[in-house]
Structure 1
Amino acid sequence: MRIAFIVLALVGSMMATIQSAAASEDVVRGDLHATTEDGVRIFVRELRPRSWLDGAEPIILLHGARVPGLASFDLPVTGGSFAADLAQRSGRLVYVMDARGYGGSDRAAAFEQPPEANPPQSRAYLVVRDIAAVVSIAKERSGSRTVCLLGWATGGMWVGYYASLHPEDVGHLVTLNALYGGSAQHSQFGPGSPVSDPAHPDRLSPTIGAYARYDAASLLPGWDKSIPVADKDQWRDPVVAAAYQRAALESDPESQKSEPPAFRAPMGAIEDSFYQASGRRLFDASTITGHILVVRSERDFWSRPEDVQAFAHDAVHARSIRIVALPEATHFVHLDRPERGRGQLLDALQGFLVEP
C-alpha cells in the first residue's frame, strides 16, 4: 500500500468556470428508484455524459446529514452541479442518491409523528442498505463490476462504512470532510457539546428525536462563518447559495406547512456523528481494499485532522491512499467558487479515478 499526501494550492482558474457552465449541456439526466432489501424506495438521479466510457466505474455521490442529494450535488444553476461537472470531466456515469428519510426517498412512519415520539431515524446501519441498492443499479447500468463511492461529511462516513462491509464492490472510495472517530474531542458533537446529555456527557442527549426541521436561513451561518472574508459573495456565488436553500426546501413536500417553511432531516446522522466525534468508530477501515482518496478542507468545521490520520492508519489493505488537503477551503468546497477549492477538488478526483 502506498500513501500520497497532496496539498493543492487555491489558484484561480477561468477554464474551470467555463467547463462548469458547459457541463450541464453535455449531460443527460434521468431519475430512477432503487429498492432496498427491506423494501425502502431510494431516489436516484443518473447523469450520463453524451460521450461516456462504456464499462467504466460509475460514481455514486452521497449527501451529508441535513440536505439531500440534488440540493448538495445537482443544483440547476451555473457552478451548482458538482455532479454534472464530474460526469463531464470524467466521462463516467454519475449517480446522486438520497438516503432513506431524505428528499425523494421513502420516509418512515416516524416522520408523520412528532419528532420526540421516536428515536433518531436513518441510522448508518440502515443507510448502508440504501447504498447497496444504488450500487446494484449503478453496476448494472454501467457494465462495471465495481463503483466509485464519494460521500460528503456524514455521507463520507456512510460510504466508508459500506466499503468496509462490501470491499469487493468498491474500486475507488472518496471521503470529503468526513468524521472517523479520530479524536474524542469535537466542539459541535463530542462529549459535553450542545447535543450531549448533560447528565451523561459521553451520551447523546435524550431530547434528540426522530428528525429536525430546518428553514432556509439555518443553512448559511456555518458556511458564512468558515469563509474568511467579509463579502461572502467573493467566495461563493450568491445564485448557488440561493439555489441550495431553495432546493433543500423543495426536497420535502411538507416544508410549506411550517412557518417559515422548513424541511425535515433525520437525526440518525447526528447520533452516528456524535459517536464518531467521541472517538467511537462505527466501522474499521482495515477491511477496505480499493483505492482511497481522503479529502479535507482546511476550514472544515465537521471533520478533524485526526480523522484523516486515523483513517489512513487503519486502511492497511487499501490498494493505495491519497490524502488531499485543500488550503483555506470550506466544508462546502464543492459549492464554492472554482478558485476557492472547487476546481482543485475536481482536479484531484480526475487524477484519482485513473488509478487502475
Structure 2
Amino acid sequence: MDQTIPAHGYRPDLVVEDFTVPSDTPGISLHLRNKRASAQKTFSAERSILMVHGATYSSASLFDVPLGGRSFMDHLATQGFDVFALDARGYGGSTRPAEMDAPAQDSAPLVRTEVAVRDLASAVDYVLAHRGIPRLNLVAMSWGGSVAGAYTAGNNGKVARLALVAPLWLLNTPAPIDSGGALGGYRKVAVLDFRERWLAAAPEAARASLIPEGWFERWAEASLASDPLGNAERPRVMRAVNGPIQDIRDYWGAGKAYYDPNDIRVPVLLVHAEWDRDVPMATMQDLFSSLKRAPYKRWVEIGEGTHMVLLEKNRMQAFDAISQFLAERDP
C-alpha cells in the first residue's frame, strides 16, 4: 500500500506530496516526492517527470533544496510539469538495507546499479498507474544517469524523453568519488567537508563566486537531515551505499559499459559543465556519439560549472535547457 503524506512549508502555488510505495523486495519501501502546480488537474505523459539522484545524495538533496528561493523541482512544477523524484533504497526517505545498521565492513557494497534499476522500474510503474498515463520523462544525474539509461534501454515504451545531467559513462581517468581501498557496504560522508572538493574542480579565481553565499550551508544541512542516524554522530555524517562505487570499478572504470546506448530509442538530452572532473568532457562526447538510435539527441555544455552544477550559480542554464527539451514538440 502506498501512503500519501502532505508536505508543509513549501510554496503555496504548488502541491507537494510524499509517497511511500513498495519495491520488489519485501520490507523495502521507496520514497517518492511529487510537486505540481496547484491549478493542475489533468496529467499527460509529455508533462510528467520522474527524477533520479546520483551515487551519494538523495533526490531531495539534489533536486528540492530551495536555493535562491527555488529548487529544481519548483522550477519544473511552475513550468507546468507533474514532477516526481525517487529515492532508491538506501537513500533519503526510502528504506535502508538492514546491513546499514551494522558496521560497514560486515557487508559487501550495497545497492548495486542493478538494484537501483529495479527500484526505478517500481517507481515508474507506480507513477504510470497513479496518473493513468502510458509513459513519462526521466531526468537523472550522475550515477542516476546510469540507472535511467539502463532502464530506458530495456523499457523504451515507458519513457517519452530522457534528460541526463553529467551521466556516468566510460572513464579514462580515476573516479574522484572512489578513494580506493576495500569497500564495505556503505561509507560515511562528512558533508560539511565536501565544499573543498567541490570547489577544487573550478579554477582558483572562480571558486569564491561559484556557490552563492549561504547556498552550501543550506544544501549541506538538508543532506545531513536525510540520514538521522548518521546525523546524530559527531562529527556529523551521512551514510551512503557503496554499490555505485563498486560498479565504477567493475564497469565504468574498467572500460565496460553497464548498458548499450544503442538500445535507447527515445530523444535524449545530455547536460554537462566544463569543470566537471567526475564526468570529463571526453566521457560525455563518447556517450553522445554512442546514442546512435535515439530519434534525436542534444548536448548542452554549460560554462563555469562543476559536477554539482544543479546547485551552483549557473544552475538556471541547466534548468532551462531541461524544461525546454521536455516541453518542445518532436521535430
Alpha carbons 2:45, 2:134 under 8 Å: kept: no
Given the alignment of the two structures, is residue 96 of structure 1 paired with residue 85 of structure 2, yes or no?
Answer: yes
2:229 maps to which residue? 254
Aligned pair count reads 316
Counterpart amino acid of 1:43?
H
Cα displacement (A) at 1:77: 4.5
The answer to whether 1:188 aligns with 2:176 is yes
TM-score, L = length of structure 2: 0.89
1:167 and 1:187 map into 2 onto residues whose CA distance is 29
| Structure-2 residue corresponding to 1:106 | 95
For structure 1, list consecutive stretches of 5 or more residues without a partner in the other structure. 1-22, 196-204
Question: Percent identity among equivalent residues?
Answer: 28
In the aligned structure 2, how far is the partner of 1:240 from the partner of 1:350? 23
Q: Give 1:344's match in structure 2, choosing from 313, 317, 322.
A: 317
**Structure 1 pair 88/288, CA: closer, same or farther in 2 (3 Å)?**
same
1:240 aligned residue: 215
Query: CA contact under 8 A between 2:43 and 2:82: conserved in structure 1?
Result: no
2:37 to 49, 54, 58: 49
Answering whether residue 159 of structure 2 is matched by residue 170 of structure 1, we say yes
1:322 alignment partner in structure 2: 298
Q: What CA distance in whole angstroms lies between the structure 2 residues aligned with 1:98 and 1:27?
A: 21
Question: What is the deviation of 1:74?
Answer: 0.6
- SS for the counterpart of 2:305 is strand
Q: Work out the CA distance in 1 between the residues paired with 2:30 and 2:77.
A: 21
Q: Alpha-carbon deviation of 1:304?
A: 2.0
Which residue of 240, 257, 263 corresponds with 1:265?
Answer: 240
Q: 3-state SS of the aligned residue for 2:285?
A: helix
Unaligned runs of 5+ in 2: 1-9
Contact 1:179–1:304 (CA under 8 A) maintained in structure 2: no
* Matched AA of 1:347: D
The amino acid that maps onto 1:260 is: P
Match of 1:69 in 2: 59
Q: Greater relative contact order: 1 or 2 (C-alpha under 8 angstroms, separation 6 or more)?
A: 1
Give the 3-state SS of the residue equivalent to 2:268 in structure 1.
strand
Match runs of 1:1-356 below 5 Å: 24-39=11-26, 40-52=28-40, 54-57=43-46, 58-79=48-69, 81-89=71-79, 91-181=80-170, 183-186=171-174, 188=176, 194-195=179-180, 205=181, 207-228=182-203, 230=205, 232=207, 234-274=209-249, 275-337=251-313, 340=314, 342-353=315-326, 354-356=328-330
The CA deviation at 1:346 is 1.8
Amino acid at match of 2:268: I
Moved over 4 A (4+): 229-233
Structure 1 length as normaliser, TM-score?
A: 0.83
Partners of 1:83 and 1:351 lie apart in 2 by 15
| Pair 79,109 (structure 1): closer, same or farther in 2 beyond 3 Å | same
Quote the Cα distance in structure 2 between the aligned partners of 1:261 and 1:310: 38
- AA aligned to 2:75 is D
* CA distance in 2 between partners of 1:226 and 1:87 (Å): 31
Q: CA distance change for structure 1 residues 140 and 257 in 2, over 3 Å: closer, same or farther? A: same
- The alpha-carbon deviation at position 141 of structure 1 amounts to 3.3
Deviations 1:204-252 (A, max 9, x none): x4x1110011123232122221343557452222322112111111111
Letter in 1 for 2:187: A
